[in-house]
Each structure stands twice: as structure tokens, then as C-alpha cells.
Structure 1
Amino acid sequence: MTPEDQEETQPLLRPPGGSAPRSRRVFLAAFAAALGPLSFGFALGYSSPAIPSLRRAAPPAPRLDAAAASWFGAIVTLGAAAGGVLGGWLVDLAGRKLSLLLCTVPFVTGFAVITAAQNVWMLLGGRLLTGLACGIASLVAPVYISEIAYPEVRGLLGSCVQLMVVIGILLAYLAGWVLEWRWLAVLGCVPPSFMLLLMCCMPETPRFLLTKHKHQEAMAAMQFLWGSEQGWEEPPVRAEHQGFRLVQLQRPGIYKPFIIGISLMAFQQLSGINAVMFYAESIFQEAKFKDSSLASVVVGVIQVLFTAIAALVMDRAGRRLLLALSGVVMVFSTSAFGAYFKLTQDGPSNSSHVELWTPVSMEPTNASMGLAWLAVGSMCLFIAGGAQALRCLLAGLCLLHLQCPFHIGLCP
């Protein structure tokens, strides 16, 4: 990497020496932004308890058949894909703060549409809107948090993003244990509404303000977030390197991290981790577990636990080792889960020919009790491996991004 490239990867704001007094308001601002990933996780996990509830719904409430239930879980990813593109455009045009404020609109609107749904199309439309918000929040929130954090806490606050996502998923599973789909959608409006109120009181990131040549506003933001604007200097930023151009892909320092990052993200998605999150409770129903809601909550707890563990041991064990170990665990666990269905498909009380969404007794026979727990155990291992893989993947991508001259945001 050339000296010019090294200069561009440095923060726009850096202390020349010593340590300035720190304000704790940066943690409040980071929490406000992290409510976006929390809302994102809740929207991802919402379909798991909502689908069985919608399958049992009595007229005049909308009721999902097998095909509609599949779309209800998956359509959120289409919205997220569009939201990622929209978020990438908004984050530089409107700014980090305004982008986070705007993403609360499709979050609240989407859950409100689901709450008032009178037919399947309203349910799908609401999920599409929440997916759009998920795409924006998943892109903008990490950028905002990394740019407001000073170096001593940047890694800590950056780790909170993925942790808040899995906490949001767990919250959806826990609430779905006691709430039916309408009230669960009402609860989904709470985190983004709270984020809207808090973010209105938070400043724009100093980095974004400086790129827009708003020096006084940037100093005010630093004073609010860090407690002082003194002792900080602004290195020169060349305008021609603030954006990405396709011609830059000819450089090995750019196309190698780009290919590695895209490949890792593609394989992570193809592992099926999102499908498990979307349909966890339905999967356990098909596995004939006694209490599918409880099983999905256990999976959510495991995901939160191992995401936190991955954040703690990642710097010591290394990203590559943990990614390889996670892959082995996920292969083993999915093989065990497939073996469970193979072993039980011919049993009289565990027939796999029963339609996936047909209400069944969750009380396994004594002979299949151990096999039922095999299903839960293997799924927990899969989630544990996936949680570690995703955390290491995000951190690894940040390191790759820091090698790229066109990278603008600050990664943890």
C-alpha cells in the first residue's frame, strides 16, 4: 500500500498526542444508532413466531397458506436488498444522522401495515417495507457509530452492532412466545420510534460534516460527543479519493479485498443462516419438538451468547481460525439435523410426510425424546457457528476495507 493510500485510511480526526477528556455522551449516541440494528434483528426474527400464529388465525384475520408463509418470511430480503442500495446513496447525500432518521419511517410504517392487515398482500407489503428499513439501517448504523467513536472505544462500540441484531432476534422470539402476530407487530414499532426520538437529539458525525466543509458544525459535534474539540487536528483530504471508481478495481490492493469480501459474504448467506432465523419455530414444529416456541428462544439465546463470545476471543484467536472452526461446526450440525429427519421420517409419530404447516402435537414419544433434543442441539450448534462466523466476517471485512483507498467509513 502506497503512503498516499495509508494517509487516506486514517481518520479525518485524530489526536496528535496525549489524551483529551472524554464525554460519555458518545455512548448515548451509539446506543441511539444501535436501536437501528435492534429493529433490524426484530424484523428478521418476527416471521419465526408470526408464521405459526398466522397459520392458526381465524377469519376475518388473514391466514397464510404454505406458499404465502414462505413469501412472508423471505420477502424481507428483497426489501433489504433495495434498502442497501438506497442506504448507500442516502448515507453520502443526506448524511448519517438523517439516513438513520429516515429509516425509522419504513420500519414503523411496515409494522403498522402488518398490524392493520386485512389480507395477505398487506402482510407482504408490510414485510417488504420493514426489509427496506433493514437494508438502510444495516448499512448506515455501523458507519455512524464508527465515525462518532474515538479510538479507545471504537472496537467496543462497533462490536455492539451485531450484538444488537441478535438481541433483536431474541426479543422477537421471546415476545412471540406470549404475543400473537398483531401485538408482536405493535411491539416492533417501539425500537424504531425510540430511535427516532433519541437521534433527533444527537449530532451528525464530525467526519461527514468535515467532508461537507462544515468546520464549525464539526467542532460543535466533537464538543458534544467527546467533551472537547481541542487537541484534534484535521489532516488534508483529497476530494478525488472520496468516491469509488471502477477503474480502481485494476489495483491489487482494491480488487483482492473486494473479491474476498464479496465471496465471504456470499458463502455466509448461502449457508442458510437467514432461513433458520426466519422459520425457526416452524422448523421445530416439523421436528416434532414439544414446545417449538421454547426451542426457538433457546436458539436465540445461544446466538446472543456466542456472538458476545466471538467478540471477546476474536482478537486473540484470529479471524481465520474462528472462521474455519465455525465452518466445521456448521457442517457437522446441519449434517446431524438432516440425520434427525432421516431417522424419524419413517416413524408413525414422526412422519416427515406431514405438511410443514399442519398443527401437530409437540409432545414427542419416549422413544423419540432423545432424537427431538438432537434436533435442538444440532440447530444450536449451527447457530453458534454462524454467530461466530458472522462476527469474525464483519470484523475481517472492516480490516479489508481499511486497506482500500476508496473506503470512507471507519470500521471497528
Structure 2
Amino acid sequence: MDDIGKSTSELPSHLTQYIAALSVSLGGFSFSTSLAYTSSASHQLMNNSTNSSLVITTDQNNWFSSTINLGGIIGGLLGGVCVNTLGRRGAMLASVLPFVGAWVFISFAQNFAMLMCGRFISGVCAGVTCIAVPTYIGEISSPDIRGTLGMGLPVMVAFGIEYSYIFGAIMTSWRSLALVSAIPPVIYFILVFFTKESPTYLLSKGKEEEAKEALQYFRGKHYDVEPEMNVMRQTQEEARQNTVSMDELKKPYIVKPLVISCILMVLQQLSGAIPVLFNMSLIFKVRLCLFPPPAALDVFFYQKFLDEDRAIENLSWLPLICLIVFVTAFAIGLSPVPWVMTGELFSLNVRGPANGVASMVNWTMSFVVSLAFQPLQAAIGPYGIFWFFAACCAISIIFCILVVPETKGKTLQEITRQLGGPDTTEVTLKKQEEISRF
């Protein structure tokens, strides 16, 4: 076993892994345009700035912005089924047609019901994508670059948001913006179509030759994949022998990481990222490509409340600085980390149902926070709501310092033991530690 992966080439090739990860990460680009779409479209729909026969009220706009999260709840559950029946790649491909159809629904909407239908379908596709893409990347990646490839999804989400903001600032019609937003899913479909299926999925379906061929493709033609195939076989055999039901999620060593994951998901949504993203143009009353953080918005809006002219004159630079700080911090912190932690804190035999619970919590909180944003803003003022978001961010810092365990440099088995879980077999542990070296 000391010669694992060294019989032909000592290190696996990374190029094909980077290309595949980049291709599937475009799914994040695709669904994030849905998240940012309402920032420009809501202002146009409510004010009838495009002289359309379809005009929505403030209450309707709350539902128009938030309904995507209801779809995300369903999509998260559906995604867990799809990745195990259609495959990781198959689930991604299957989500594209309804994704494009949702944008067509919105673009040609004649009433509010069609808008809602389009947003709900977009949410379902986003939910499937959030399950399928990280699963696929985690399974095709070599351990030494898994973290780097995993960051592709949140980075693409940021690019997709910016894409929507840019075209929202250029285009004067929410219908045209919807059609432009349908372009990324089409490109996503083409790129994913030419990728190979996850070796782990293929092996789970008994397609051993196809699994080996796919793994060889991702590791390079001169790399010896047989030792890694052996570990994959052992891991899957253990997972089959130790499957659990939802009732067994009550075990202490499972409850603790589940509670931590769910609280991280709640705090992610209470950071204020999603409601600000959904309502950008309504918050600033102008069509800007900005995403300021809560604490600085407190200062800006409170000064604007006291003296609007003075605030605009003296603090006009503040939103741009905040944009840089917030996007950077959110992209490397509260955006990806809760999802990464769900993949690390749970043992393999409970990872599926536990991730499903955490995903539902995330989408549910996103729905609640985005739906309540405008009523709360009207009740306590714009500076009040952002003080609330800032306080939640501060709580997130304290929670992470005091409660969230450090997983850097630890194997999944060490993390499980740290949380009070059972040891894996010595043979499996030895094999997984050996495979982690290449």
C-alpha cells in the first residue's frame, strides 16, 4: 500500500479536474442570476417603468422575491433523490430544461401567477444544483485540490449575481432581462454534457469498468487508479452496511453536528445577504451594482434619516467600499463554509439525510427572511433592519469561535471521534489515510 498511486505516475493530473469543476460550477452562475434578478425587475414591475400591462404591488413583490426559496426547499429534497437515481451529472443536466422554461415563463408572463410559477421552478432547479454540484466536485477531486475546486461554486455564484446586476443596469425591460438570464443555463448544459459522470456514482450502480474509466480520465492516463478504486469499494461497502434512518439522527454524535450545521445555515441567512440581494434597487431607490454590508448601511441610512442631503454628499463613497469588503468576506466565510461544514461534520452513513435537513433549514430561513424584509424595514426603519443584520453577524463570529469545531488537517474519522461518534474499522481508516496522501 505504500506504493499507492506510484506505479506509473506519482501524482494525478489536475487539468481535467479543474475543467470539470469549472464546467459544473457554472450551475452556481446560472441559479444566482435568479437570486439577483428581482433587484432590477422588482423596481420595474412595481413602477411600470416599461409601460407593461403587468404591474405588481409591494406585497406581491415580497412573494415574487421570496418564492424561489420555496422552490429551493423542494429542490433540495428532490436533488437528494436525483443524484442517486439519475446520477450527479444526470441531475445537473435534468435541471437545465425546466430552468430555461422558468425564464421563458417569466419573460412572457401575462399575470402574477405566471411570474410566481417561473420563480418557483427556478427555485426547484437551484435546490437540485446546490446538492448535485458540490457532491460531484467532492467525488471527482483529488484530496490535495478538493478545497480549491470546491470554492468554484461560490465564486461562480458571485459572478452570476454581478452578471444580473450589470445587465439589469443596462436593460430597460424586465422581460428582456429574463431572456438574457436564460443564456447561462444553456452554456451550463453544453459544458456538463461533455463531462464524465462521477466514478463514485458509477461504482455504486455496479458499473465498475465505467467507474474506473472515469477515474482514470480525472486522474490522468499515466496514473495508477487501482488503489483509489479499492478504497472507494471499501468505503461504499461500509456505507451500505451502516445505512441509517431519519430516526437515528437523534443519536448524540449526530445531533451535535446537525445542530451546528443548522445554526450556521440560519446565521448565514440572518447576515442580510439574500434580502439585500433581492431588493437592491428598492433599498437605494437607484439602479446600482452594489452590495453593502449591514453595519455600514446602518451608518449610511441613519445619517440619511437625520440629513439626507448631507449623507449623500459626505458618504457617497461608503457603499462602494462596503461592496468590496462584504463580497470578499461573505464569499470566503458565511457563503461557502456552512455548506462545506455539512460535508465534513457528518459521518458517511448519515451524510445524506443530515445534509437534506440542513438544506431545508437554509432555504426555509431564506424564504422567511426575504419575505419579512420589507415589512420589517417599514416597521423599524432601514437603519433598524441593518442594525439587526449587523448584530446577527456579530453573533455568527461568537458562535464560530466558541462552538464550531476546527476541521482543518483532520480526517473525517478524526472529526467523527471528536464529536463523540464511533471509530471506523482500523483497515478502513488506514486505507483512507493512505489515499489522502496523494
TM-score bracket, shorter-length normalisation: 0.7 to 0.9
Which of 13, 19, 22 matches 2:13? 22
Cα offsets for 1:273-317 (capped at 9, x unmatched): 2101111121111xxxxxx333xx243xx8xxxxxxxxxxxxxxx
How far apart, in 1, do the equivalents of 2:48 and 2:3 lie? 59
Cα offsets for 1:195-247 (capped at 9, x unmatched): 21222222210001111111011012123322237342323223535644234
For the 8 Å contact 1:37–1:164, the answer to whether it is kept is yes
How far apart, in 1, do the equivalents of 2:311 and 2:191 lie? 53
Shift of 1:191: 1.3
Is 1:36 paired with 2:30? Answer: no
The equivalent of 1:101 in structure 2 is 93
The equivalent of 1:217 in structure 2 is 210
Is 1:189 paired with 2:189? Answer: no
For the 8 Å contact 2:300–2:311, the answer to whether it is kept is no
For the 8 Å contact 2:88–2:197, the answer to whether it is kept is yes
- Count of residue pairs the alignment pairs up: 342
Shift of 1:62: 1.6
Cα offsets for 1:153-188 (capped at 9, x unmatched): 211111111111111111111111101312211121
Cα offsets for 1:309-342 (capped at 9, x unmatched): xxxxxxxxxxxxxxxxxxxxxxxx5355335434
How far apart, in 1, do the equivalents of 2:21 and 2:246 lie? 33
The equivalent of 2:433 in structure 1 is none
Shift of 1:58: 4.3
How far apart, in 2, do the equivalents of 1:53 and 1:185 lie? 13
The equivalent of 1:138 in structure 2 is 130
Report the AA paired with residue 386 of structure 1: F
How far apart, in 2, do the equivalents of 1:15 and 1:176 lie? 55
Shift of 1:72: 1.4
Which of 143, 150, 157 matches 2:142? 150
Report the AA paired with residue 16 of structure 1: I
Shift of 1:253: 2.9
C-alpha spacing 1:367/1:44, structure 2 compared with 1 (3 Å): closer
- Secondary structure of 1:204 counterpart: coil
Which of 326, 350, 366 matches 1:406? 350
How far apart, in 2, do the equivalents of 1:369 and 1:37 lie? 37
- Secondary structure of 1:16 counterpart: coil
- Secondary structure of 2:170 counterpart: coil
Shift of 1:110: 0.6
How far apart, in 1, do the equivalents of 2:253 and 2:301 lie? 46
Is 1:337 paired with 2:281? Answer: no
How far apart, in 1, do the equivalents of 2:42 and 2:321 lie? 23
Q: Please report the TM-score for the alignment, with normalisation by the length of structure 1.
A: 0.75
Report the AA paired with residue 86 of structure 1: L
For the 8 Å contact 2:44–2:50, the answer to whether it is kept is no
- Secondary structure of 1:177 counterpart: helix
For the 8 Å contact 1:337–1:379, the answer to whether it is kept is no
Cα offsets for 1:107-156 (capped at 9, x unmatched): 10111111111222212211111111111101111111111112232111
C-alpha spacing 1:138/1:129, structure 2 compared with 1 (3 Å): same
Output aligned runs, 1:392-403, within 5 Å: 392-401=337-346, 403=347
For the 8 Å contact 1:15–1:231, the answer to whether it is kept is no
Output aligned runs, 1:237-386, within 5 Å: 237-241=237-241, 243-285=243-285, 292-294=286-288, 297-299=289-291, 334-345=294-305, 347=307, 350=308, 365=309, 368-374=312-318, 381-386=325-330
Q: How large is the Cα RMSD of the aligned pairs?
A: 2.9
Report the AA paired with residue 350 of structure 2: F
Output aligned runs, 1:18-167, within 5 Å: 18=6, 19-22=10-13, 24-54=15-45, 55-167=47-159
Unaligned runs of 5+ in 2: 356-410, 413-435
For the 8 Å contact 1:78–1:131, the answer to whether it is kept is yes
For the 8 Å contact 2:219–2:225, the answer to whether it is kept is no
Moved over 6 A (4+): 408-412
Shift of 1:395: 3.3
Bigger mean CA deviation after superposition, 131-140 or 196-205: 196-205
Cα offsets for 1:340-387 (capped at 9, x unmatched): 43443365xx4xxxxxxxxxxxxxx45642245456655765555433
Q: Please report the TM-score for the alignment, with normalisation by the length of structure 2.
A: 0.71
- Secondary structure of 1:117 counterpart: coil
C-alpha spacing 1:231/1:147, structure 2 compared with 1 (3 Å): closer
Bigger mean CA deviation after superposition, 272-281 or 382-391: 382-391
How far apart, in 2, do the equivalents of 1:36 and 1:367 lie? 40
